[in-house]
Amino acid sequence: MATPNYGYEKRQKELAKKRKKEDKLKAKADRKAGVGSAGDDEQAPADGVEPQEPSEPPAQP
């Protein structure tokens, strides 16, 4: 049976961590520039209050 290649696994984790960090920095720079990302179609209101969906009236018996 083959032995696990821990060095490979460690390298893959490091690469994934590096990629995630770069993506975060890029997103932060885009937000700072006012560009926004493709996934940010809905923007939060400036006052920080989430909009509420209209509730249905209670059922009449």
pTM for the complete prediction? Answer: 0.48
d(CA 47, CA 16) in angstroms, rounded, equals 35
Token pair in block for residue 33: 């520039």
Residue 15 pLDDT level (bands cut at 50, 70, 90): very high
Which pairs from 47-53 meet CB under 8 Å and 24+ separation? none
Query: How much is the mean pLDDT over the chain?
Result: 79
What is the mean pLDDT of the segment spanning 3-20?
96
- The tens digit of pLDDT for each residue in 17-46 reads 999 999 999 999 999 988 655 555 555 555
Among the listed residues 17, 52, 23, the one whose alpha carbon sits nearest the alpha carbon of residue 38: 23
